[in-house]
C-alpha cells in the first residue's frame, strides 16, 4: 500500500493546478470584448489590407468583418481603390486609394440611392446654406440648382441671414461647428457631392444603426433645429425610448411593418420603405413645406409630399386624426410667419431709412432678429408637425413674441437716436 501523501503536498499541488488552469483560460480563450467572427471572415483579395490594419487599426477591421458588406464579399479595395485620374487618390502600399470614399464609389453598388441623395436637401443645399455656391463646379452647380431648397427664396430676413455667420466666424470656428454637419453636402473633387458616411457610419454600415434617431440627432438638435429633443417629447419618441429594444431593427429594406416598428423613428417617416411608400434617400420627398426658412412657403411638390407622408401615418392613425394634426401644425406655421414678416418689415424700414446698415450682423438688433426666426420661429414650427407641445409653446411661440417685442423696442430707440443725430 502506498503511504498517504502529506496534506501540505496535496494542497500545494491542487493550488498549482488551479493556477495553471486560470492562466490558460485568461490567455487562450477569447475575452468578451473580442468578436470571434472578425477572425473568421474571409478577406478574399484584401488580405494585405486586413493583415496590416489588424495591427494599426484593429477596431476598423473588426467592424468591417461583421458588416453585411463583408458578408456579401465586398473588399476594402472595392471602396478605397480609385482610378489614377481621381484627384482624391494617393499611393498607399502598392494601391492607389482614397482615404474617404465618396458617393462616386458608393454608386458602383448603390446607384439609385446615391442619385436620390445627390438630388436631396442633404446634398448640395446643405453646403450652400453654409458657404454658398463658390465651391461647386459648373456641373455640380447645375445639379444643385434643381433642388427645391436652393430656390425657396431669401435665406433669412434682411441683415439676419443664415450663411452670413460663416463670413463672421470663418476658419477659426466653422470647421469645428457648422461645417461638421453641413459637410454632408460638400462638393467633392471627383465630381460627386456629399458624404454617405455622415449617416452610414463606417466601417460596420449597420442598417439597424442608421434607422435609429440618434444618427439624425448628430445634427438635428439644439436651439435652431431641435428635432431630436422634440421627438423625445412626442409619443413616438417615448415609445422608442421605452420599447425600442424589442423592435426588429434588422428587417430588410422595404419590408418594414408596424410589427417590426410599432412607432416611427426619423427614418421611418422620411426615408424607409413602409406601407405603400418605397425606400428613398431624398429626405424632402415626403415633405410639404419649407419649415427651416424664415417665412415658410409650400414646396413645389407640396401636395404629393403631404400625401406621401400621410400614407406613412395611415399605418397607425385614422385619416381624420392625421388631417387634424396637419391642420393644427399649419395654423401654428401661419401664426409664426405673420410674426416673422412683421419683424422683417421693421428691419427693412430701418435699412431703407438709413438708420442701420444692410450688412448682416452689423448691430445688436440684427442678432435679435436672427434669433427670432432662426431659433424660436423654426422651433415652434418643427414642434407643431412633430407633436412636441412644449417646443411649440415655451421653446417656440412665447420666446418668439418676447423677441419681437424686443426688436420693436430696439427699433424705436434706434429711430429716436437717428432723429437726434445719434450714430449706430
* Domains in the chain with CATH codes: 206-424 (1.20.850.10)
What is the predicted pLDDT for the residue at 36? 42
Decide: pTM greater than 0.75. yes
Residue from 281, 250, 249 nearest 265 by CA: 249
> Under DSSP, is residue 80 helix (H, G, I), strand (E, B) or coil?
helix
**Quick one: CA dihedral 14, 16, 18, 24, positive or negative?**
negative
What is the predicted pLDDT for the residue at 4? 57
- Residue pair 62/35 in contact (Cβ under 8 Å)? The answer is yes
d(CA 366, CA 217): 29
What is the predicted pLDDT for the residue at 162? 76
What is the predicted pLDDT for the residue at 78? 94
- Residue pair 305/342 in contact (Cβ under 8 Å)? The answer is no
What is the predicted pLDDT for the residue at 43? 47
C-alpha cell recorded at residue 165: 455667420
What is the predicted pLDDT for the residue at 2? 45
Q: What angle do CA 82, 83, 86 make, to 5 degrees?
A: 85
What is residue 274's DSSP assignment? B
Q: Per-residue pLDDT for the chain (424 aa), expressed as one digit of tens each?
A: 445 556 666 576 776 777 766 665 544 444 433 444 444 444 444 568 988 999 999 999 999 999 999 999 999 999 999 999 999 999 999 999 999 999 999 999 999 999 999 999 999 999 999 888 999 999 999 999 999 999 877 788 999 887 788 888 888 999 999 999 999 999 999 999 999 999 999 999 999 999 999 999 999 999 999 999 999 999 999 999 999 999 999 999 999 999 999 999 999 999 999 999 999 999 999 999 999 999 999 999 999 999 999 999 999 999 999 999 999 999 999 999 999 999 999 999 999 999 999 999 999 999 999 999 999 999 999 999 999 999 999 999 999 999 999 999 999 999 999 998 865 5
- Residue pair 66/43 in contact (Cβ under 8 Å)? The answer is no
What is the predicted pLDDT for the residue at 155? 81
* First vs last C-alpha separation in the chain: 112
- Residue pair 336/290 in contact (Cβ under 8 Å)? The answer is no
d(CA 233, CA 223): 15
Cα 62 to its chain centre, rounded Å, is 25
> Under DSSP, is residue 161 helix (H, G, I), strand (E, B) or coil?
strand
Cα 25 to its chain centre, rounded Å, is 44
Kind and range of the H or E run holding 156: strand 156-157
> Under DSSP, is residue 193 helix (H, G, I), strand (E, B) or coil?
strand
d(CA 305, CA 417): 49
- Residue pair 39/58 in contact (Cβ under 8 Å)? The answer is no
How many angstroms separate the Cα of 383 from the Cα of each of 115, 182, 282, 321?
A: 30, 22, 22, 17
Amino acid at each position: 500500500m502506498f503511504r498517504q501523501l502529506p496534506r501540505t503536498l496535496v494542497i500545494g499541488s491542487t493550488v498549482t493546478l488551479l493556477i495553471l488552469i486560470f492562466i490558460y483560460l485568461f490567455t487562450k480563450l477569447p475575452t468578451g470584448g473580442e468578436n470571434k467572427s472578425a477572425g473568421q471572415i474571409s478577406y478574399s483579395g484584401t488580405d494585405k489590407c486586413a493583415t496590416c490594419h489588424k495591427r494599426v487599426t484593429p477596431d476598423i477591421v473588426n467592424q468591417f468583418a461583421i458588416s453585411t458588406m463583408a458578408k456579401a464579399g465586398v473588399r476594402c479595395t472595392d471602396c478605397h481603390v480609385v482610378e489614377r485620374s481621381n484627384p482624391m487618390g494617393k499611393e498607399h502600399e502598392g494601391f492607389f486609394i482614397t482615404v474617404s470614399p465618396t458617393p462616386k464609389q458608393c454608386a458602383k453598388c448603390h446607384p439609385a440611392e446615391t442619385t436620390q441623395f445627390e438630388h436631396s436637401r442633404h446634398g448640395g443645399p446643405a453646403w450652400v446654406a453654409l458657404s454658398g455656391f463658390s465651391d461647386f463646379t459648373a456641373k455640380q452647380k447645375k445639379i444643385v440648382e434643381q433642388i427645391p431648397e436652393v430656390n425657396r427664396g431669401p435665406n433669412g430676413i434682411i441683415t439676419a441671414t443664415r450663411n452670413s455667420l460663416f463670413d463672421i466666424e470663418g476658419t477659426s470656428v466653422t470647421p469645428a461647428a457648422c461645417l461638421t454637419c453641413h459637410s454632408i453636402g460638400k462638393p467633392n473633387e471627383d465630381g460627386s457631392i456629399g458624404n454617405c458616411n455622415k449617416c452610414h457610419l463606417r466601417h460596420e454600415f449597420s442598417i439597424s444603426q442608421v434607422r435609429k434617431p440618434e444618427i439624425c440627432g448628430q445634427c438635428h438638435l439644439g436651439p435652431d433645429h431641435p428635432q431630436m429633443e422634440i421627438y423625445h417629447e412626442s409619443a413616438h419618441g417615448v415609445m422608442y425610448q421605452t420599447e425600442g429594444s424589442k423592435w426588429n431593427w434588422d428587417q430588410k429594406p422595404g419590408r418594414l411593418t408596424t410589427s417590426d416598428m410599432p412607432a416611427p423613428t426619423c427614418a421611418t417617416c422620411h426615408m424607409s420603405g413602409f406601407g405603400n411608400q418605397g425606400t428613398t434617400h431624398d429626405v424632402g420627398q415626403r415633405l410639404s413645406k419649407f419649415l427651416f426658412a424664415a417665412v415658410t412657403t409650400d414646396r413645389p411638390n407640396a401636395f404629393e409630399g403631404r400625401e406621401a407622408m400621410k400614407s406613412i401615418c395611415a399605418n397607425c392613425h385614422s385619416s381624420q386624426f392625421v388631417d387634424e394634426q396637419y391642420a393644427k401644425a399649419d395654423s401654428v406655421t401661419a401664426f409664426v410667419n405673420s410674426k416673422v414678416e412683421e419683424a422683417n418689415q421693421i428691419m427693412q424700414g430701418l435699412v431703407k431709412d438709413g438708420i442701420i446698415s444692410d450688412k448682416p450682423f452689423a448691430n445688436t438688433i440684427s442678432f435679435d432678429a436672427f434669433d427670432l426666426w432662426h431659433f424660436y420661429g423654426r422651433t415652434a414650427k418643427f414642434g407643431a408637425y412633430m407633436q412636441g407641445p412644449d417646443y411649440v409653446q415655451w421653446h417656440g411661440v412665447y420666446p418668439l413674441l418676447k423677441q419681437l417685442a424686443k426688436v420693436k423696442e430696439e427699433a424705436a430707440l434706434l429711430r429716436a437716436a437717428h432723429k437726434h443725430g445719434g450714430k449706430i
